[in-house]
């Protein structure tokens, strides 16, 4: 259950010191817990980005890391034992169900990634491939690991797509050899559809099951289309059934944050019907626009 007090306390504490210092300490703290849990971890985004790609570090608002899928449960238990709590779950975190967010009163937010959106290779295989090319970094005198420079460049591109942007500035600063290496890594990680969404070549992948999801992700669209895209993107029948069952459910993580407390059963039911009305309205609006466009 999500209570408002810890989050408010975290925000108050976060304002007590510069964000850059808090985040460097938070990164070191999370790395220490990963080592305690025996979990390999690759720090991504923010100040974990190699200076070769971003000379001036951007600290962001939280710590992000890709965790060895085999040790996620162990790290989860360790985080809870050290005062962290779940803020949002894999299930409701995003269309890709890729990360679970934790909150600590002192350190703020930590996004634990089991995959990175756009990478289609199986989670464990993808992590092992990226781990094999890792590079050392340090935060608050604590050594941690980040993906190699080429993988970091690819991640920055994939991340930009979800922000509905094209190729980020870093791509235009790479030389031809570096771009070729990144494209090779994109192929290895089966990230070609998402990469094409950034490069403007997405329509070349209309026959791929992920096409519609990345079209909605990169260009926007009604929620009903997003859910249909999520269903189509699933590689297995079981996955499609799971998404179909989940689609009408209330995002209780988001509802809790909006209300400031864990929702009652009545509030969940009311939100369920509100979602249904909104979804119907979106569907009618979409059909109306399609009909007018064909006249």
Domains of the chain by range and CATH?
1-147 (3.30.460), 148-220 (no CATH)
At 184 the pLDDT is 98
Contact 66, 113 (CB under 8 A): yes
* In the predicted structure, residue 279 carries a pLDDT above the cut 80: no
The whole-number pLDDT of residue 283 equals 46
pLDDT: which is higher, 80 or 253: 80
pLDDT digits (tens, 9 = 90+) for 264-277: 655 545 544 465 44
- Percent of the chain beyond pLDDT 90? 60
Nearest to 134 by CA among 72, 33, 50, 52: 50
Residue 152 has pLDDT above 70, yes or no: yes
| Tens-place pLDDT, residues 204-257 | 999 999 999 999 999 988 888 887 888 888 888 887 787 777 766 555 555 565
Q: Is the pLDDT of residue 16 over 90?
A: no
Which pLDDT band, with edges at 50, 70 and 90, does 178 fall under?
very high
Q: Above 90 in pLDDT, residue 38?
A: yes
pLDDT tier for residue 6 given thresholds of 50, 70 and 90: very low
Predicted local confidence at residue 179, as pLDDT: 97
Distance CA(29)–CA(90), nearest Å, equals: 22
State residue 182's pLDDT score.
98
Tell me how long the chain is. 295
Which residues, at least 6 apart from 17, have a Cβ–Cβ distance to it below 8 Å?
none
Band the pLDDT of 153: cuts 50, 70, 90: very high
The pLDDT value given to residue 295: 52
Residue pair 275/227 in contact by the 8 Å Cβ criterion: no
Rounded-to-integer distance, Cα 71 and Cα 292, Å: 52
Rounded to 5°, the CA angle 92-97-103 comes to 60
Q: Which of 83-97, 162-176, 239-253 has the lowest mean pLDDT?
A: 239-253
Is the pLDDT reported for residue 290 higher than 70?
no
Sign of CA dihedral 210, 42, 75, 5: negative
Amino acid 65: pLDDT: 98
Between 265 and 290, name the one with better pLDDT.
265
């Amino acid at each position: 259950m999500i209570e408002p007090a810890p989050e408010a306390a975290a925000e108050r504490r976060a304002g007590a010191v510069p964000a850059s210092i808090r985040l460097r300490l938070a990164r070191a703290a999370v790395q220490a817990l990963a080592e305690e849990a025996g979990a390999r971890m690759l720090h991504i985004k923010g100040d974990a980005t190699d200076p070769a790609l971003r000379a001036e570090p951007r600290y962001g608002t939280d710590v992000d890391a890709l965790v060895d899928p085999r040790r996620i449960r162990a790290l989860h238990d360790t985080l809870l034992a050290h005062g962290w709590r779940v803020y949002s779950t894999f299930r409701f975190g995003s269309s890709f169900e890729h990360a679970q967010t934790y909150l600590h009163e002192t350190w703020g937010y930590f996004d634990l990634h089991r995959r990175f959106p756009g990478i289609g290779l199986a989670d464990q295989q993808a992590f092992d491939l990226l781990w094999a090319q890792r590079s050392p970094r340090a935060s608050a005198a604590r050594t941690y690991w980040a993906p190699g420079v080429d993988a970091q460049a690819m991640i920055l591109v994939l991340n930009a797509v979800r922000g509905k942007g094209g190729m980020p500035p870093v791509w235009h600063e790479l030389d031809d050899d570096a771009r070729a290496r990144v494209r090779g890594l994109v192929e290895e990680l089966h990230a070609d559809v998402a990469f094409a969404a950034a490069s403007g070549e997405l329509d070349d992948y209309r026959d791929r099951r992920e096409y519609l999801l990345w079209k909605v992700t990169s260009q926007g669209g009604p929620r009903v289309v997003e859910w249909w895209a999520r269903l189509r993107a699933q590689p297995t029948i079981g996955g499609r059934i799971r998404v179909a069952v989940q689609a009408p459910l209330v995002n209780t993580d988001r509802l809790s944050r909006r209300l400031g407390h864990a929702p009652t059963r009545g509030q969940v039911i009311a939100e369920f019907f509100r979602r249904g009305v909104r979804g119907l309205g979106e569907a009618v609006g979409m059909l109306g626009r399609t009909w007018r466009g064909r006249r």
